[in-house]
Structure 1
Amino acid sequence: MIHAEPSALLTRPDLAEAAVEGLVRAKAYRATEVFRTSGPVADILDDDGHRISQLLFGEAFDSLLVESGRHWGRSRRDGVIGWIAEADLTAGIGTPSHRVAAPGGVLPFNSLVDPTRDAAGDVVLMPLGEFEADLAAVAESMIDVPHSLGGRTEDGMDCAALVQACLMACGRAAPRYTEGQAELGRAVARDDVQRGDLILWRHAEGGPGWTGHSAIALDAATVIHASGRAGSVCRQSLDEADTNQRAEGFDALIIRRL
């Protein structure tokens, strides 16, 4: 199951996190333990081994279960639930003071760091609480980043991860998947599209790590998105993107203004 919201609970028939005892039925309850990545990024997998997301440097992972060399838990920043290899995690989490504010460094864009402790390298940092103003400009800084399903970094990202990264950089609520992003802001008519609007297509079935397709409007006629067809983050006319998505079985487009 894909969990797209920060309120996602760690529950299974046999085990649940202690915070839901008395609210959710399970055979046993256990407190979570907090971990972070031992490297710049770690893959989050579903039960079948498909990559559904990634944990960036400095993000907390609440682990409930360790089994067969993997931790099962939740990414605290965006609520994604899945498995991470034990070797990719280290216990504990610090108190970050800055965010990596530009792509291309040794740590991924939007990683959380404490410059007095973390070896962040020669990267652009922005204090937490300070944000970018232009969602579309952040997206443009990602042009030519490869498309990669489940990815959240400059080495590869999917469509919803691009939108999530831009939302985070601008200090907005940032669901991981299209379904959650389609609930943000307010609905806008097709003939009123403006720069920075979210352009979204839900899919009735989805797949491992995706629930639709996400893009950001550059202007009334152009979007920027991580495109599987193009193989990268690119600009495309809104009409062409809409035609392509509908031809692939996606629902009618949704436009949301933050």
Structure 2
Amino acid sequence: MDFDPRLTPARSDLAARRLQARVTAERFVDGTPARVVVGLAPLRRGPRGDARLDTEALAGESLTVYDEDEEGWGWVQLDRDGYVGYLPTHAYMKGDVARPTHRVTALRTFVYPALSIKEPPLDWLTLGARIAGIAERVVDGRAYVITASGGVVVADHLAPLDRVEADPVVVAERFLGTPYLWGGRSSLGIDCSGLVQTALEACGVAAPRDTDLQEAALGTPVDLDPAQWRRGDLLFWPGHVGLVRDATTFLHANAHVMAVSIEPIAAGLARIAAAGAPLRSVRRVERPQ
């Protein structure tokens, strides 16, 4: 049976037990729950540091581990969007790990070892990462959240998980100037679908990882006439996606300027069409009220 290898934990030698009736494999396993415990971890296509970067896992994300090798790679599936790939084993912890309580709302923040911003950071976190907060302290007028692992994060850079943002374009605009990175999902580097996924998730909308999956799953169709578009509408080309910003501009992470940028709609449509990829569809996603 055909299946999408991006979203299906199945190899010829091993597969998830829940797929036993759908795929052929030498053995099937239940997998072990785990959670990402570093700020950012690469999910690669193969168990090698030079394998293609398919996406990235952020701190606090949950996942299922199906296999581990002696070289320090785990074959996993992320819970956030179902993506399957190879993650360094040092990047996650299996078993009973504290559940996140807050998400990062700043473009980037740090995890400190003590209640002081003068301490050398232990790690950094990107927008959308999650932490498990166990206490809040105020020192010299600054509020901090203490995490279950003993780290400290500035409270102003966090929000409770149940507090969502109102406008995905506002979220995406925080990434302006961020370098384009294939497979990237962070403020150090991000790609077009990673930007859209991150912006929508901050507003309470779960989104698939890749453009083709987003186009198939998100929202309702809108006419291709730019006069019909609204702020936040998603523009889809083959292998690319952007967000309508206003009547004349859209925002996207793109390899044309190798960064997240704002581009005039008319000029952008013409430029991308001239490269052989005319606009294919427009989708409108309604955010939860």
TM-score > 0.5, shorter chain as reference: yes
Residue 71 (structure 1) aligned with residue 70 (structure 2): no
Query: Is 1:219 aligned to residue 253 of structure 2?
Result: no
Work out the CA distance in 1 between the residues paired with 2:185 and 2:251. 16
CA distance in 1, matches of 2:186, 2:44: 16
> Could you tell me which residue of structure 2 aligns to residue 121 of structure 1?
153
How far apart are residue 15 of structure 1 and its match?
1.1
Counterpart check, 1:252 vs 2:254: no
Kept in 2, the 8 Å contact 1:109–1:153? The answer is yes
Count of residues in correspondence between the two structures: 246
CA RMSD of aligned residues (A): 1.9
Q: CA deviation at 1:87?
A: 2.8
Contact 1:246/1:252 (8 A) holds in 2: yes
- Pick one of 200, 212, 233 that aligns with 1:197: 233
Greater shift after overlay, 138-147 or 167-176? 138-147
**For 2:130 and 2:79, how far apart are their aligned partners in 1?**
13
User: Counterpart in 2 of 1:205?
Assistant: none
Once the 2 structures are TM-superposed, how far is the Cα of residue 251 of structure 1 from its aligned partner? Answer: 4.8
CA contact (8 A) 2:235 2:279 kept: no
Aligned-partner Cα distance in 2 for 1:129–1:218: 26
TM-score (norm 2): 0.79
Q: Which has the higher contact order (CA 8 A, sep 6+)?
A: 1
Secondary structure at 1:179 match in 2: helix
Distance change (3 Å), C-alpha of 1:63 and 1:94: same
Name the TM-score, length of structure 1 as normaliser. 0.88
The Cα of 1:64 is off from its aligned counterpart by 0.7
Q: Which runs of 5+ in 2 are unaligned?
A: 111-124, 135-147
What is the letter of the counterpart of residue 190 of structure 2? M
Moved over 3 A (4+): 1-4
| Letter of the 1:51 counterpart | L
Alignment map for 1:1-258 (pairs within 5 Å): 8-47=7-46, 49-67=51-69, 68-92=71-95, 93-106=97-110, 107-116=125-134, 117-118=148-149, 119-122=151-154, 124-183=157-216, 184-191=218-225, 192-202=228-238, 212-258=239-285
Amino acid at match of 2:161: L
Aligned mates of 1:85, 1:173 — CA distance in 2: 25
Cα separation, 2, equivalents of 1:247 and 1:64: 44
CA deviation profile, 1:65-121 (whole Å, cap 9, x unmatched) = 112321111111111111112233332332112111221212111112111115252
Q: How many Å apart are 1:36 and its aligned residue?
A: 2.6
Q: For residues 188-232 of structure 1, give each alpha carbon's deviation from its aligned partner in whole angstroms, at most 9, with x where no partner exists.
A: 113301101011112xxxxxxxxx111110012211111212121
Query: Are the aligned partners of 1:215 and 1:223 in contact in 2 as well (CA < 8 Å)?
Result: yes
Structure 2 CA distance for aligned equivalents of residues 250 and 74 of structure 1: 31
> Which is greater in Rg?
2
Is the Cα–Cα contact under 8 Å of residues 100 and 131 in structure 2 kept in the other structure? yes
Report deviation, 1:249: 3.4
Q: CA distance change for structure 1 residues 151 and 2 in 2, over 3 Å: closer, same or farther?
A: farther
Contact kept? 2:44, 2:54, Cα under 8 Å: yes
Query: Relative to structure 1, is the Cα distance of residues 103 and 3 closer, same or farther in structure 2, using a 3 angstrom cutoff?
Result: farther
Shift of 1:145: 1.4
Task: State the one-letter code of the partner of 1:161.
Answer: G
Which residue of the partner structure matches residue 113 of structure 2? Answer: none
Q: Which runs of 5+ in 1 are unaligned?
A: 203-211
Cα distance in structure 1, aligned partners of 2:221 and 2:157 = 34
